Amino acid sequence: MTPPSLRLWLIRHGQTAWSLSRRHTGTTDLSLTPTGETEARALAPWLTAAPFTKVLTSPRQRARRTCDLAGLGDQAEIEPDLAEWDYGQVEGVTSAEIRVTRPGWNVFADGAPGGETPADVEARADRLIGRLTALTGNIALFSHGQFSSALAARWIGLPIADGRRFALTTASLSLLSISPDQADTRVISLWNAVPGGPGR
């Protein structure tokens, strides 16, 4: 059973040039834009007030830099399973562009040609959850938009395809935790919160 004290603070990295233009960014190691750096700094009051037992970050610099600017870089450990999907042949391409030749394409259902399949990402998310549920307390996870959505879906037992329903803003905070009334039930207790609220 998952420890009732476990709370996963799931943080998407700040804005990059490709997140701004809605290009799929997996293995390409982009830096934050100036706006992304400002977004990341705005997370600091939320995060530095919490006592974290562990801080984990994707290996990509956009996640690591967000972690640093949010004030948790000195505690961070690299966690390869927090990396974004490997988008293979559609790296750097928008969903709209992909659907010109693949009508109705969605990475959560169809995977990335030449990259990870939904089954690959589901297995990775489940493997990570298995390790995280052995921990207690507040755990900070700095990751990416579509992997974080996949992780949230798997946290509450949904199939990977339902990850498409969990949209995330850059430099957003979500909380994955345990129901206070049902110790065997995992819940999403906060989703896509950003300093300054909607429309920032």
Domain limits, the chain = 7-193
pLDDT of 1: 60
Is 13 assigned a catalytic role? yes
Is 39 assigned a catalytic role? no
User: For residues 137 and 7, what is the distance between their CA atoms, to the nearest angstrom?
Assistant: 6
> In the predicted model, what is the mean pLDDT of the chain?
94
Q: Do residues 3 and 129 make contact, with C-beta atoms less than 8 angstroms apart?
A: no
AA identity, residue 33: T
Q: Do residues 118 and 93 make contact, with C-beta atoms less than 8 angstroms apart?
A: no
Query: Could you tell me how many residues make up the chain?
Result: 200
Beta strands in the chain (DSSP E): 7-12, 52-57, 76-78, 138-143, 173-178, 186-193
Q: Do residues 160 and 108 make contact, with C-beta atoms less than 8 angstroms apart?
A: yes
> 22 pLDDT exceeds 80?
yes
Q: Which residue among 13, 24, 79, 116 is the active-site one?
A: 13
46-50, 128-132, 150-154: which has the minimum mean pLDDT?
Answer: 46-50
pLDDT band at 16 (very low <50, low <70, confident <90, very high): very high
Structure-token match 């700095």, residue found? 142
pLDDT of 199: 43
pTM, 2 dp: 0.94
Buried-exposed string 85-101: b where 16+ CB fall within 10 A, e elsewhere: bbbbebbeeeeeebeee
Q: Do residues 66 and 48 make contact, with C-beta atoms less than 8 angstroms apart?
A: no
Measured torsion, CA atoms of residues 85, 90, 96, 101, in degrees rounded to the nearest 10: -130
pLDDT band at 19 (very low <50, low <70, confident <90, very high): very high
**Which CATH topology does 7-193 take?**
Rossmann fold (3.40.50)
pLDDT of 75: 95
**CA-to-CA dists, residue 59 to 27, 29, 158, angstroms:** 10, 9, 26
Q: Which residue among 37, 39, 79, 84 is the active-site one?
A: 84
- Each residue's pLDDT tens digit, 32-65: 999 999 999 999 999 988 899 999 999 999 999 9
pLDDT of 184: 85
Segment 7-35 shows an average pLDDT of 96
User: For residues 155 and 177, what is the distance between their CA atoms, to the nearest angstrom?
Assistant: 9
User: For residues 53 and 115, what is the distance between their CA atoms, to the nearest angstrom?
Assistant: 33
Alpha helix segments (H runs only) across 5-144: 17-20, 34-42, 44-47, 61-69, 95-101, 107-110, 118-132
